[in-house]
Structure 1
Amino acid sequence: MRSGIALGLGLLVVSFLGTPGAHAADSKRTSPTAYPASTQPSLLSEFRIGFSAQDPWGPEGRDGSANLTGEILFAKPFTASDLFTSYFIPRPHIGGSLNFDGRTSFAYAGLTWTIDVTPSLFVEGSLGGAIHNGDKDPFGISSHHQALGCSPLFRESGSVGVRLSTNWSVMATIEHLSNAGACSDNRGLTNIGARVGYTF
């Protein structure tokens, strides 16, 4: 009798494990895709690369000189509930400009404010600081270098851009570096250029 009961229970268990529903339930419990991983907000917001003309109105660009530029923009530290307020929240950035002719190159960091004029057109401004490898002494400069007085310098820039798609954009940028009168010489450095941006 007992052996018959045991045999019956065994058949019941085997039949239950063999049903598709049991396998489906088990698959749901063990499948790695059953519970999607939580998505974390990205630290990076955008990457930009382009070229600029080195100080076209000054001694460093007198006979033409170009730079390779790159910039990384990070996500806003916090978000606002409405679009207008969000325009006042900047994105932190870091970047650099490498001169091809041995003239002043620099690295910079700061904050960028971007405002949408239309869904595809935007304007932006940035403010921060930069360190450079250019001349600081007005008495020791060559004919192809500008005396910048000191390092670090203040850096300001403005851009007008067009969004080509959800991820890609192009923009024209002008940037200026100076010491704002903090050092003996303050002619500064002004570059103009174009960049391509990829939004993550």
Structure 2
Amino acid sequence: MARFLTGIALVLFSLGLAVPAFAQILPFEVRGGVSATGVTDPGVNMFDPARLRDANVELLYTVPDLSAWAVLGELRPHLGGTMSFTGQENLIYGGLSWTVRAPLLPVWGEASLGGGWQSGALQPAGTPTRFGCAVVARAAATVGVDVLPGASVMATLSHLTDFGACNQPNNGRTDLGLRVGIRF
């Protein structure tokens, strides 16, 4: 039994050493926070705290060869998800983000384009939804501040649309979120 426990301890120790090594090979950033849905809907107060009804998590990966294409800033692929706590559409998305940092200041901006899948298409027949298609396009703009080395606070405005591609009106969805990011 002691030999088995020693083996388990060695494996766990080795895995603990491998995680930092993996982070050096493929650095990534984890972001998470809350967002308000439908902030551009008619008659909606964009800054109403009662509209904070969604949680968002996003991973951005640094791929060195990809940033060589960017004259200014860095290009990073991202994967993310938004979960609604009020029964509205949930979203899984991916795409490419372009981050530009201000020289000598801890301020940065980011533009993202990509696509996603929203769960509104799974609602029972007769349930009102914003989209006719399960597949949507996503665009986002983010402004952030580095508060510590490797840690940032940001505001993100994202828009989803299906461009009316599935024979239903395109109501779109615009979210405004506050997030925290940790870079590894």
TM-score with structure 1 setting the length = 0.68
Match of 2:79, as an amino acid?
I
- How far the C-alpha of 1:80 sits from its partner, in A, is 5.8
Match of 2:115, as an amino acid?
G
- How far the C-alpha of 1:77 sits from its partner, in A, is 4.4
Aligned to 1:4: none
> Does residue 179 of structure 1 match 2:162?
yes
Aligned to 2:10: none
- Once the two structures are superposed, residues 26-66 of structure 1 have per-residue CA deviations (whole angstroms, 9 ceiling, x without a partner) of xxxxxxxxxxxxx664324200000000113338x897351
Instruction: Kindly indicate which of the two structures has a greater share of residues assigned to strand.
Output: 2
Match of 1:91, as an amino acid?
R
> Does residue 91 of structure 1 match 2:76?
yes
Aligned to 2:102: 117
- How far the C-alpha of 1:117 sits from its partner, in A, is 2.1
Equivalences for 1:41-190 in 2 at 5 Å? 41-58=24-41, 64=51, 66-78=53-65, 85-87=71-73, 89-118=74-103, 119-135=105-121, 140-142=126-128, 146-184=129-167, 185-190=169-174
How many residue pairs get aligned? The number is: 156
Match of 2:108, as an amino acid?
F
- Percent identical: 34
Q: Check conservation: 2:159, 2:173, Cα contact below 8 A.
A: yes
Aligned to 1:29: none
RMSD: 2.9
Q: Extract unaligned runs of 5+ from structure 1.
A: 1-38
Between structure 1 and structure 2, the one with the greater Rg is 1
Match of 1:127, as an amino acid?
L
Aligned to 2:6: none
- Matched residue SS, 2:71: helix
Q: Check conservation: 1:178, 1:186, Cα contact below 8 A.
A: yes
